[in-house]
Structure 1
Amino acid sequence: MASVASAAAVDDDGDETLASPAESLDLILSRLLPFLLSAALSARTLVGRWRLLHSKLSLLLSALTDAAGSPNWPSNQLFRDHLLPALISTLRNLRSLSALCLDQDLPGGKLRLQSDIDIAASALSLHLHDLHLLLRSGLLHHDASLASSADDSAAIVLSLPAPSASRAVLALFVRDVFARLQIGALDLKGKALDSLLELLAADPAKISRLVVEEGDLPSLLRLLDPSAHSLLRDSTAAVVSLLATASDVSRRAVFEEGALGPLLRLLDSGPAVLKERAATAIHALTADHACAWAVSAYGGVSILVAACHSGSGSPSVQALAAGSLNNAVAIDDIRAAMVEEGAVSVLLDLLLSGNLEAQKNAALCLASLAAMGGAEICNAILQENGPARLLQLLRAVSDPETIDHTLKAFSALAVSPKATKFLSSSPPLFAQLTDLIKRGNAGIKHSAAALVADLSPSEETKRSMAESMPALIKMMECSKPSSAQEAAAAALTSLLAVRANRRELSRDEKSVTRLVQMLEPTSDVIAGKELPVAVVLALTSSSGGGARRRLADAGACQHLQKLSEADVPGAKKALHRITGSRLKNLFSISWPQ
């Protein structure tokens, strides 16, 4: 070890503070590294560890030489103020350890020395990682003139660019931010996150894709870990939430890098502000079916159901959690887990929470559960007094989307015979449906009419709905969607099974005129002529009430004759009902054009 001792004598630089970054880099390249490379090859104790250290020191020498080749490295704060001092400290420590290896007696003990060398080797590996990160980012070759001139001790190296800046400038800034997240001290990491948030908020769709392409998402997601500093976790959750909602590209990238698990943990046990940000991100992630399946893999169903409970978090968290459950309800395993975790009861409670978003999402989730879960889930909703709560919500809200979701829930329940029987015997429900058919928007009218057609109310209930018939006639005149015309015709046919309703509609001159106009073969008001024909058949199913005469007076016969000749189902029968024994003569008449 004589050569090592000689080198140690030559390398006695002391631990004084160096005057400049250039002197620090020169110390490492010309004195510390040459000495340690020689010492590592001359070691006779723990030879294997020193050989491994020699490889790392060689890599460090190559990387530092590359960094020194850039004239702009002194302006990079991470390299100048963080990496160089840390490197000098680690290399000096290794130099001291190499001197201890000169004494074959190892006065401190072999195990102690071995542990100290391993710790120093780990530190050296971390420095190499940081140095390679800076080299890959291109930041060491960046012109110092673009650096911020504000508070240089804490400033982000690059000024925050405008979202309209060139891609090269934006990419360099993103790489700088992610370098700080992995290398910088706590305050610099916090400022880097703040700058990233500001840039993302200015143009989420554009910047989020750039972050995915130029950033290092795993390093960002590690800051969601409970061991991370709370200030960093808060800002990181905000960044991840923005990335999850900004674009399909960034949402998928966040999921593929494993964000769902940490986000669910935050929703389960994080502080209130983090729960809301986590819930926002989870809701966005689960909107993609390819991501939603992973909820059960992370034990997320119980967490989401718990987040829907009153008192578990803010109203916003409840709404987002209910929305996330609805996003994932199509997956069989998740749907089964939701039932096991008591989601039906919790969602029904949310219907009366007074929080519109939570009510809306809960109603839609219940509709999805009932539609996809079959009679078993429908019966569970019945047992929890679900129809009464849905009706209470239907009466209380005026928001069209919430009303539509609630009607979807009723319609989904109607697939169960037990539920259909229960709903059909609820006059208050039909009173509400009557009002919605008369006053709702097109989508609500459609859903309400379809529900009336699916149920089997009593004659008395049907009589109470007579005032909705003119609105149903008008619905049939709407060209799109055709399913709305079908729903209106089916509801009308059901209501016209009651004699009193037939009498009342036949007395409504405007409705009769509209119905006859729909029979016109050349009219494009309604493409499927079998629908108005079916209504005419229902309206003329009995001889009383004057319906047949009024239809004939309005010109229905000539239209029905043409439809009969075109073999439209029911047209011939409808014509026969109106004309009676004069049918043969009518066929011989040439109707005026």
Structure 2
Amino acid sequence: MKLSLSYLEKGKVIRTHVLLRTKNQLIAWLQVSLAETKNLALDEILEALHTDEKSVVSMLGPDYVSAIVQLLNTWWPKTVQEKAATVVCHLARSCEAVMLLKLEDAILPLVRLAESGSVVGRQKAAVALYHLSFASPGTAFFIVSDGGVRALIEMCHLIGGGDSVCQSGRVRRGRHAQQHLHERGDVEPASKEHAAECLENLTAGDNDDGMGLQRAVMSEGGLRTLLLYLGTNDRHEAAVRAIRNLVGVISTTSGSAGDMTTRMKRLAGEQGCVPLLVRTIQEGNSNSARKVAVQMLAKLATYAPNAMEMSEDDKCVPSLVKLVEPTQAITAITQAIQCLLLLVSTSDKRCRNLMISHGAKGHLRKLSDLDIQGAAEMLHRLERG
């Protein structure tokens, strides 16, 4: 069955008014079972979108959106999925179309495409989820509840190695998933960036809804994955901002929220985040990356097993002492002092001696003269032994 139109034969010069006149025919093409026909219809829509995106998006009603969303499912040929995902990317940028995508349950097929689609399909799915994560808290919860966090985390995790630092951490789960991820290490950098930006959006809220999303990302290993991703390039500021958002989920220390906080600290330790945070401080990352890493370490150190791991890590204490040099940023200094105070209170003599041998006393004397918060107390602890 060969379908053609006069304007297709004349060089495929599509105009919005032509597409509007053929709405019913395009709907029929999208709903016909032949993949070739669906490809033809999607080509028409994409051509029109390139000509006049705003007008075309406004005229694509529920029937169109429903038919296009169905084509995201993985049983359709790769070319159909990719073109449908590209159309959805255009729709996800429109406030009017976002609600249609939500009503037509587009999030779940996008998540599945992000998990197991082609390289282009996963990239388009990541972009669409990124735009949808802006829409509303309700849309963000749909992304989380449909498994979107896991798909985005896996997409960021596909970084092609560089994971040896975590083997010394207390990683007790996810070994099968890791192997699966390394077998699928073919995601484009742009997809990873959109996945990181989407995780940043999902973790940005500071209300109860935002805290729930932050806990979901933490529970799925999002902190560890973002740190791994950050280690591949020091310009991944979206990852830095997402990590900063996750600091908030372990800030509360009272009541039932305190119990959840303890669980998040334990999870972060078990997932091997401590050595990755130390690496972020130690290596040549941006100032914002080092600052958020030491802030997270200071939060995690309030959980005794994490503090013990930090004190036993040969690189942790020297890295923190280096951050209390008077030439460092004040925020990083105060966070590093807070972390060192926790370590000196809970660890053995070896840890204290390690601080002293790396020059902590000299730095702290200068900081005490400058009246930096915590410096005098830390110096007093070290001098008293």
Q: TM-score, normalised by structure 1?
A: 0.41
Distance 1:514 1:254 in 2: 55
Alignment of 1:440-459 (within 5 A): 441-442=230-231, 451=246, 454-455=249-250, 456-457=261-262
* Native 8 Å contact 1:240 1:281 kept in 2: no
Q: Choose from 334, 337, 362 the match for 1:558.
A: 362
Give the equivalent residue in structure 2 for 1:191: 9
Q: Give CA deviations for 1:163-200 in whole Å, capped at 9, x if unaligned.
A: xxxxxxxxxxxxxxxxxxxxxxx6644422xx33xxxx
How far 1:558 moved relative to its partner? Answer: 1.2
Residues 481 and 514 (structure 1 numbering): CA distance in 2 closer, same or farther, change over 3 Å?
closer
Give the equivalent residue in structure 2 for 1:548: 352
Aligned length: 327
Larger radius of gyration: 1
In structure 1, what residue type is equivalent to 2:109? C
Give the equivalent residue in structure 2 for 1:347: 146
Q: Choose from 65, 79, 84 the match for 1:264.
A: 65
How far 1:556 moved relative to its partner? Answer: 0.9
* Native 8 Å contact 2:301 2:307 kept in 1: yes
Distance 1:264 1:473 in 2: 47
Distance 1:191 1:292 in 2: 34
How far 1:521 moved relative to its partner? Answer: 1.7
How far 1:513 moved relative to its partner? Answer: 2.6
Q: Indicate whether 1:293 and 2:96 are aligned.
A: yes
* Native 8 Å contact 1:223 1:232 kept in 2: no
How far 1:561 moved relative to its partner? Answer: 1.4
Q: Helix, strand or coil for the counterpart of 1:540?
A: helix
In structure 2, what residue type is equivalent to 1:562? K
Q: Choose from 293, 297, 312 the match for 1:492.
A: 297
Q: Give CA deviations for 1:7-48 in whole Å, capped at 9, x if unaligned.
A: xxxxxxxxxxxxxxxxxxxxxxxxxxxxxxxxxxxxxxxxxx
How far 1:239 moved relative to its partner? Answer: 3.4
Task: Give the number of the structure with larger relative contact order, counting CA–CA contacts within 8 Å between residues 6 or more apart.
Answer: 2
Q: Indicate whether 1:252 and 2:54 are aligned.
A: yes
Residues 485 and 237 (structure 1 numbering): CA distance in 2 closer, same or farther, change over 3 Å?
same
How far 1:520 moved relative to its partner? Answer: 1.8
| Residue segments in structure 1 that go unaligned for 5+ positions in a row | 1-185, 197-210, 353-358, 365-389, 582-593
Alignment of 1:17-166 (within 5 A): none
Distance 1:480 1:423 in 2: 26
Residues 408 and 268 (structure 1 numbering): CA distance in 2 closer, same or farther, change over 3 Å?
closer
Q: Indicate whether 1:240 and 2:39 are aligned.
A: no
* Native 8 Å contact 1:307 1:318 kept in 2: no
Residues 550 and 264 (structure 1 numbering): CA distance in 2 closer, same or farther, change over 3 Å?
closer
Distance 1:469 1:232 in 2: 53
* Native 8 Å contact 1:437 1:449 kept in 2: no
How far 1:554 moved relative to its partner? Answer: 1.7
Give the equivalent residue in structure 1 for 2:323: 518
Q: TM-score, normalised by structure 2?
A: 0.59
* Native 8 Å contact 2:71 2:84 kept in 1: no
Distance 1:268 1:496 in 2: 46
Q: Give CA deviations for 1:349-379 in whole Å, capped at 9, x if unaligned.
A: x789xxxxxx449999xxxxxxxxxxxxxxx
* Native 8 Å contact 2:82 2:121 kept in 1: no
Q: Give CA deviations for 1:431-474 in whole Å, capped at 9, x if unaligned.
A: x5796588554369855786477342369948964965343223
RMSD: 5.7
| Residue segments in structure 2 that go unaligned for 5+ positions in a row | 30-35, 157-173, 251-260
* Native 8 Å contact 1:469 1:492 kept in 2: yes
In structure 2, what residue type is equivalent to 1:292? C
How far 1:492 moved relative to its partner? Answer: 2.0
Q: Give CA deviations for 1:254-301 in whole Å, capped at 9, x if unaligned.
A: 336x3456742642789968975773453232343xx232444xx553
